[in-house]
Amino acid sequence: MSLERAKWAAVAAGAVLAFTAFGLGHAHAQAFNVNKFQCSATPFGVDVDVSGLGHTDLCVIGTASINLNCACAGGGGNCTSDAKKNTTSATASTDVELQPKNGRVVATVTVPFSTSDSQCTTGDNPLTCPSGQTAKLVEFAASEEFRLCISDGKSPCGCASELDKITCNSSGTPFPGKKNSCLNLF
């Protein structure tokens, strides 16, 4: 064996010994491609598209803080200037484990919350309307925090490693009232 070959053999043996003793480190880490993690057109939602997952599950954790403006409306859809009204708040959350198909996850994840008139008459600050009037959800505004993670494999799912996070905002005016009479109360 020539001296040059002996040197290369020693370098190769040293490399094998180093990988055996210290492992591959991050050389074996998989490259996850977050193609999309953005606020959805669906209220309280986020769109997810991640590839390069192999068989690795994802977890999306979402929390929403919602403010609700409610007012008492008459049968004709009007709110008088002295109508009873209130502003109340609510929170909702979700954690969803997503399993890849062919190494990819494409999904929309939403925080389960219903923006309905029933939200006005429940909770810590329920609105009570006089006879002949009903509680109406005039408008809502929400801020949602979403985290995209490699799943920790537990139930409910949690974060083993965070890939991304985003804050979304949702709002709507389900019942402005006739000529905005209810909306103008706020």
68 and 37, same structural domain?
yes
79 and 62, same structural domain?
yes
Which residue segment(s) compose the domain that 175 sits in?
A: 31-185
174 and 97, same structural domain?
yes
Q: Among 39, 38, 30, which residue's Cα sits nearest to residue 57?
A: 30
56 and 138, same structural domain?
yes
Run means of pLDDT, 10 residues per run, the chain, 186 residues? 47 38 40 96 95 97 97 95 93 97 98 94 91 96 97 94 97 97 97
Sequence letter at residue 109: V
Per-residue confidence (pLDDT) for residue 125, from 0 to 100? 87
Per-residue confidence (pLDDT) for residue 13, from 0 to 100? 43
Per-residue confidence (pLDDT) for residue 29, from 0 to 100? 52
1 and 57, same structural domain?
no
Report the domain count for the chain: 2
Q: How far is CA 22 from CA 4, 27, 68, 82, 167, in A?
A: 27, 12, 57, 75, 40
Per-residue confidence (pLDDT) for residue 30, from 0 to 100? 65
State the pTM of this model: 0.78
Which residues are CB-neighbours of 97 under 8 A, at least 6 positions away? 57, 58, 59, 151, 155, 157
Residue 117 sits at φ, ψ, to 5 deg, of: -60, -30
8 A C-beta contact, residue 147 and residue 159: yes
73 and 23, same structural domain?
no
Per-residue confidence (pLDDT) for residue 4, from 0 to 100? 54
45 and 3, same structural domain?
no
75 and 60, same structural domain?
yes
63 and 4, same structural domain?
no
67 and 136, same structural domain?
yes
Handedness of CA 105, 106, 110, 112 (dihedral sign): negative
Per-residue confidence (pLDDT) for residue 3, from 0 to 100? 46
5: Cα separation from own chain's centroid: 58
8 A C-beta contact, residue 92 and residue 111: yes
